[in-house]
Amino acid sequence: MWALFKEFVEFLRREKKWWLWPLALMLLLLAALLVFASSSGVAWALYPFM
């Protein structure tokens, strides 16, 4: 897993694709929200968006 992250960071440095950082961060936050909220008391609020 860490090798994939290191390769991604090296790709961003080499290709100067700094605009991908916010996109990747937002995707990770969305994934974390879906995973953690699906088993909690706020799951009812997310069902219309799934």
Query: What is the pLDDT, as a whole number, of residue 5?
Result: 81
- The CA–CA distances, whole Å, from 14 to 2, 21, 42, 45, 50 equal 18, 14, 41, 41, 36
Query: What is the pLDDT, as a whole number, of residue 4?
Result: 87
Query: What is the pLDDT, as a whole number, of residue 50?
Result: 63
pLDDT tens-digit map of 1-49 = 789 888 988 888 898 888 888 988 898 888 887 777 766 666 667 667 6
Query: What is the pLDDT, as a whole number, of residue 46?
Result: 66
CA distance 9 to 20: 10
Is pTM beyond 0.75? Reply is: no
Query: What is the pLDDT, as a whole number, of residue 49?
Result: 65
